[in-house]
Copies of this chain bind each other. A is one copy, B any other.
Amino acid sequence: MANGRSMQPITRKERDFARREQEILDAALSLFNNPSWEQVTVDQIAKEAEIGKGTVYKHFSSKDEIYACIALEFHERLLANFKMINHDQPVDQVMREVIRHSFTLYLDCQAHARVSLYCKRADYVERLSEVYQDKFDQVEKSFEASIGSILETGIEQGVIPKRPYHHLIIGLEATFEGAMSMIWNTDISCRSQLEQDEFITVISEYMVAGLMGLRA
């Protein structure tokens, strides 16, 4: 519940409660690690976490809220990865790093990433409480700030065409999310590691070409 995630746990009881919450999320994530993750039931999550179903609802007001927590944590992780990039390289190199870090994290944390993508769907956002909608809006702004400053530097250096932020980002965002969907939608078992690396290499090259190739 909201308090559990926003305040520091003090007493033993509160620590236990907070730990249980993480256990629920971990249980959920371990079950979400496959393409049919949407079929996972709250009961299964409870069983995996070795608690009763009612207990899950003591921590999260709905299944959707579990998704939201996972997505938000993932977005923070992605943002943290972006901040680790050396911003003193040439801007095109920085953007390549951004793309590479994104693919790497999405593939390393498939469960998180799948849930995050799901949480962008209009029907999901619609039924989400305002509190969480705001949190997602906040995350969106952080990304805009993070990538925006890189692109701005690029524009100043004349490496990136002089266009409003949204013109520059929408193509990259669309391609990235479409590409991840394609990777997940292709039966993993019939795709060799080499093929996947090749896929990502080609997509990345295309993304950079698309970005740089816009008319200034």
Binding site for B on A (CB under 8 A): 35-39, 120-123, 125-126, 163, 167, 170-171, 173-179, 181-182, 184-187, 199, 202-203, 205-215
Chain B residue numbers with a CB within 8 Å of A120 are: 181, 185
**Contact residue among B177, B207, B212 (Cβ-Cβ distance under 8 Å from A171):** B207
Closest to A34 in B: B123
> Chain A's interface: helix, strand, loop or mixed, by majority?
helix
> 8 more A-B contacts (CB under 8 A) besides A120-B185, A209-B213?
A171-B202, A171-B203, A174-B175, A174-B178, A174-B181, A206-B213, A208-B213, A210-B210
Chain B residues contacting A181 (CB-CB under 8 Å) are: 120, 174, 177-178, 181
Counting chain B CB atoms within 10 Å of each CB, the highest count among A170, A171, A173, A177 belongs to A171
What's the Cα separation between A171 and B202 when bound, in Å? 8
Counted per complex, copies of this chain come to 2
Q: What residues of chain B lie closer than 8 Å to A170, measured between beta carbons?
A: 179, 182, 199, 202-203, 206
* A126 with B35: CB separation less than 8 A: yes
Q: With A and B bound together, what is the CA distance between A188 and B35 in angstroms? A: 29
Judge whether B175 and A122 touch: CB under 8 Å: no
